[in-house]
Structure 1
Amino acid sequence: MAGNESQGGTGKRRLRRDEAAIGTSAQDPMPLADRLLGLEASGIRRVFERARRIPGVVDLSLGQTCLGIGTVVRKAAGRALEEDDGRYGPTEGLPQFLEALGHHVAREFGPGGENLIATAGISAGFHLACQALFQSGDEVLIPDPGFVAHAALIELTGARAVRYDTYPDFRLRRAALESVLTPRTRAVVVCNPGNPGGAVATLDELRGVVEFAHQNRLRLLSDEAYAQLVHRGEHVSVRRLDANALLFSGFSKSHAIAGWRLGFVQGPAEIIEQLRTLQQFIFMCAPTVAQRTMAQVLQDDNTEMREAVATRRDVIVRELGELLPVSPEGGLFAFVPAPWGTGTEFADRCLEEKLAIVPGRCFSRRDTHVRITYSADSRGLERGLEIFKDVARRGTRS
């Protein structure tokens, strides 16, 4: 979810309630709900929408691979479509998918493959969990920088998302969590590997977070959307250390099926049961064709995709050199200090030169960085990095 990359913060100004009438008719002055008034439009989507209107633009903005759906997945999808009857599936997921998913989770995340629910993407699962766990007055700690959907989905419950600092190297530090803890704090969100920073948490870092959560009676929510795209180090799931944590992951990134919307949540049985109840009224069930497809291919270790993304990661590290002081260890992104100006100013200038990247303020209180997606096709990535370096060399508004 680190999952749904069509999301993103700080795109437009917030509406006042007296501006937020439904429709345009003077006879229809009914205002929108208060909970929407603080919801900002998607900054990532704003960049994407601007970019798609520019002929010849190189788009390195969205968190999706441009490598295409693999042959194995395509063939499995064909068989799945033949088998599917178009009816609703079970709320928690198709039995054959849950069986395959259980083996996958036990292998990739550990320690077991029980207590799972299939969701319509990772963000859908995170939304269900927020609705189940949080309410007005609660505070939830989220990383800065961090994936923007986390804050939005938390605050739609009436709770407050409170950022804990991970700069300059985007690593988890217990001291940063301690500095923002209050009596209202209810939970901690971690993103591992990080989006946008790309850090892969070490075992010691995760132990520190788990100890902090236990000592303060906090729930851990772990977004592990990029767990299968680790380039340096080793991914360790929070669930290996804390059986009460909630794990969110999926297949949008690892299998290039972002548009198919398939994720899952694992956690304590009593919470998963409540998510199942909520899902009955919101999403009904996860897409059944996607479930049937992934049930056939989850035993595949997906080496081809991992290697392709890792190769592109090495390209961006090599080409940017000193412009990229913190190399990504996992995921699809490089979070790069703006060579001049603010992140927004630099990203806007790049877009004028036909390169779409995302300003860091979409992910952070700071506007000092830009996010570059490196999972593009090789030619597009090389061209995009040429534009980036050229804009960096020329300086402000030259």
Structure 2
Amino acid sequence: MADIKAPVFPESVADGTIVEWHVTEGQQVNRDDLLAEIETDKVVLEVVAPDNGVVTKIVKQVDDTVLSDEIIGQFEAGASASTDNAPAVDPDQPAAPVQAKQAADGGEPVQATDKKDEADHKDQSPAVRKAAKESGVDPKEVEGSGRGGRVTKTDMANPTLKADSSIKSDSGRPVAESMGERTEKRVPMTRLRKTVANRLLAASQETAMLTTFNEVNMKPLMDMRAKYKDQFEKRHGVRLGFMSLFVKAATEALKRFPAVNASLDGDDIVYHGFYDIGVAVSSDRGLVVPVLRDTDRMSMADVESRIRELGGLAQKGKLGLDDMTGGTFTISNGGVFGSLMSTPILNPPQTAILGMHAINDRPMAVDGKVEILPMMYLALSYDHRMIDGKEAVQFLVTIKELVEDPAMLLLDL
């Protein structure tokens, strides 16, 4: 008999919560089959079967809190599923009935078959089942927009309740009720969203955060992209976007202003001799910040490829802890959602974060004449305890100059 254990969490992760068991006691599994999922404040970790065999016991149930390397179940390698693995039955007790309900006309108990429940479950996609698990909303009570009335992942994100529905969570507590066209929905926060909320609140309360703004003319960069995007994609197999140049511009600016790349550790200032830039990504589970490592050694193609890879993992909920930990600076692009201007919040223990925004045509004065140019507002939030206003402004101006004249990066000017 072997123990099924939670993964070893890094020091920054205190504990996790079991969000789903994909097996039951007595079930036979193959090596590396997915057994359970554990959600931490950063990522969802998968627990897989160590070998071929049978899951003999589930120790920790869904919603239980688990610690690093804690036993969550037991496993017998090489065993086969049989009646020996089935739960013991007390011979003095009658067999448990199948779920029953009262008939509307006669009040007699009518048994509901397991086959129907199984069919309902199979009719739902994995994405829908996962969304239901996270929200506590029963897909059977949601109006489906898919073929044949099937419920889709989009339906679960913004559910329209059936007229006679009263949606309940797994605990039986109503989370949404239909009142004609007026509905209310109560969904427990995920561990990730609660952690993000707490960190953002702490950042606003525990740092001397200040934001400086500037604007950048995106026309030179847009012209360069239009001219070389086809050649770039053909040569490197990835599309040329704006983020890669901003990452490279930020890396160069961090070299010139080391305080922006530093962090605070108690009363100590830690100056980092490397450049690990986090890129904020919105996912179904909330805001995550995967990290690009050693951006000073990456080409623009490397940056684009890695951002695409990390973004895909974020949407699938497959980011690992190594993808999320660390980071000396963060870039957040609210412009992809249409944000014209915002004040990004620090990602402690980092001391600065760059906010990008939407590109809009605006009249600008150029050499005494008015021209319509594609402009973007940039925002740099920084911890004034660590970074002086002069350094922050000069850092942001450096990024502005490098973006407006990309050749400066190539010529190291």
Q: Same fold (TM over 0.5)?
A: no
Structure whose CA Rg is larger: 2
Structure with the bigger percentage of strand:
2
State the TM bucket, normalised to the shorter chain.
under 0.3
